[in-house]
Amino acid sequence: MKRAVIIFLALIVTFGALSGQAKRPTIMVVPSDAWCERNHYVQEFESYGEVTMVPDYEKALRRSSEIRLLISYLADFMAKEEFPIQSLESVLKNIKSEESDVVSITSSESGAMIIESPIDELRRVAKPDIILDIDYQVKRKGPRKQVSFNLTAYDAYTSKIISGNTGVGSSVNAPVETLLEEAVLSFKDNFLSGLQNHFDDMFENGREVVVTMRRFDMADHTFDEEFDYQGDAVELADLIDLWFSENTVNGRYSLNERTQDVLKFEQVRIPLYGKNIAGRDVAIDTRGFVRPLVKMLKDEPYYIPVTVYQKGLGEVWLIIGEE
């Protein structure tokens, strides 16, 4: 396992050299969904009456010394090489130690509810840029062994695949560590190229997120309500649309749903970095991006109360009519 870990670390170092960016992406390494399912590290999650199975990372780390060792080696090395990395185990402990272990947020008056999965909660708390999924499987035929290995990179905000390849080691009588090394080396270059292409796009065109706006049933305002704008009567939806056109990177976003009760902005490109309320340069997440919009709606001439709910990293809900 030690030799296999060295190969993993070399892969990440090479990516750091290729990126050429002043600020490096934050990475979190997790066992893949497929690995968790095969090894029965899953848990039930209920959302709006439907029950699905999601990875149980805490159980996996507690019972599998192999996957825990691999992730620990990666974390230690990345820290020494000044690569920002979020420790999966540390984040899980932080979540568990919180006073409230609630996955749904309910409006105090209307009962509106947003349900957050354990995976969304993990990403929201950790705030990584990239999720690296590790998966491998060993097949034995007598004394001979063959390892299939998969390393997939996901955008933590959109869950879209950035880069991913599968390697298969030779069927030989060799240690599992050696076969893992061979599998990783077989696709290292293509994998890194995919990561580089993603970051080139993200730094140039912004990070992709989703912003959904709704209104509470008893709200005094609707999105087709008109306000004065430079002497003209303009619907609130159009004023919000104008805000997005002026605040997204290169004006890139899509208004995919528009009614008097709902506005849904998708493929919203937000800058990676900006100023916090103290004027310091910080990384911007979805909630930080919409903060000026919320302030605009609460101020003159709108005076619209707004509640902000963040769902995972890449989606935020703004609900007007109640705080």
What is the per-residue pLDDT across 161-204, written as a single tens digit (0 to 9) for each? 988 777 666 666 666 556 655 665 666 666 666 767 787 888 88
49 shares its domain with 123: yes
- Measured between alpha carbons, how far is residue 171 from residues 76, 142, 145, 182, 222 in Å? 32, 11, 5, 11, 65
The rounded distance, in Å, linking the Cα atoms of 258 and 85 is 39
131 shares its domain with 223: no
The two structure tokens encoding residue 97: 């130690």
Which pLDDT score, from 0 to 100, does residue 191 have?
A: 65
241 shares its domain with 117: no
Helices (H), 64-150: 65-80, 88-97, 118-126
- Considering 27-41, 43-57, 181-195, 242-256, the range whose residues carry the highest mean pLDDT is 242-256
136 shares its domain with 282: no
- Give the rounded percent of residues in the chain with a pLDDT score beyond 70: 73
User: Which one-letter DSSP state was computed for residue 312?
Assistant: T
Residue 249, pLDDT above cutoff 90: yes
* Rounded average pLDDT over 58-84: 74
106 shares its domain with 211: no
Helices (H), 81-172: 88-97, 118-126
271 shares its domain with 133: no
**Coil, helix or strand at residue 50:** strand
The rounded distance, in Å, linking the Cα atoms of 242 and 140 is 61
**Coil, helix or strand at residue 100:** coil
The rounded distance, in Å, linking the Cα atoms of 136 and 5 is 13
DSSP class per residue in 233-300: EEEHHHHHHHHHHHHSGGG--EEEEE-SSEEEEEEEEE-SEEE-TTS-EEE--HHHHHHHHHHHHHST
183 shares its domain with 230: no
Nearest Cα neighbor of 138 from 187, 184, 180 is 180
Phi, psi dihedrals of residue 161, rounded to the nearest 5°: -70, 130
156 shares its domain with 169: yes
179 shares its domain with 309: no
Nearest Cα neighbor of 59 from 86, 96, 85 is 96
The domain boundary, picked from 202, 223, 255, lies at 202
83 shares its domain with 161: yes
Residue 308 or residue 75, greater confidence: 308
35 shares its domain with 163: yes
The domain boundary, picked from 147, 171, 202, lies at 202
Residue 148: which domain range? 2-202
The two structure tokens encoding residue 305: 């109360």
For residue 213, the one-letter residue type is: M
The rounded distance, in Å, linking the Cα atoms of 147 and 140 is 9
Q: In this predicted model, what pLDDT tens digit does every residue of 110-151 receive, in sequence order?
A: 445 567 788 888 888 888 888 888 888 877 777 777 777 787
